Amino acid sequence: MTHEHLLIMHLRPARRKARKAAIVEVLCLLRDLNPVELAGGPLSEQGGLFWIRIPDATLESVAARFLSLGYTQAIDAVEPLLDYPARRPHGEGTPRVTRWRGRSWSLVRIYVEDAETLRERGRSSSVFPRNGGWCKRRF
């Protein structure tokens, strides 16, 4: 049985109305990994999020790809916690924990958009579908 990762994608505030474009961008960027868009997930009460599922073996290998994202400012990997109290004070060194589907889950930040890199790069690059399902980057 293959284990999978659930990713919470945090949209940039200025891109919240472009949620569908952000989803297409991520699906194209990770297309060779067969990513799946999910209808919801942890933190669904917050706005500006969407959820993607990818195979377990690919999590570390996709980190460098996230630099190409133009709509997403941060990504959290969702990991199950066993016997972890749902309400624990958030302090330095304390993992971010949420409740979802009756269980406690750890939110591990695996990507944060770097403002300096964005400024140096100018306009964000993005990937979108093209003929035959291929994607291309727009700069």
* Residue 16 main-chain phi, psi, to 5 deg: -60, -35
Mind listing the pLDDT tens digit for each residue in 47-74? 999 999 998 766 777 888 898 888 999 9
pTM of the model: 0.78
**Residue 49 Cα distances to 9, 26, 35, 38, 119, angstroms:** 6, 13, 16, 11, 24
Architecture of the domain defined by 4-138? 2-Layer Sandwich (3.30)
What pLDDT, on a 0 to 100 scale, did the predictor assign at position 92?
47
Distance (Å, rounded) from C-alpha 104 to C-alpha 23? Answer: 26
pLDDT averaged over every residue in the chain: 80
What pLDDT, on a 0 to 100 scale, did the predictor assign at position 48?
95
What pLDDT, on a 0 to 100 scale, did the predictor assign at position 65?
87
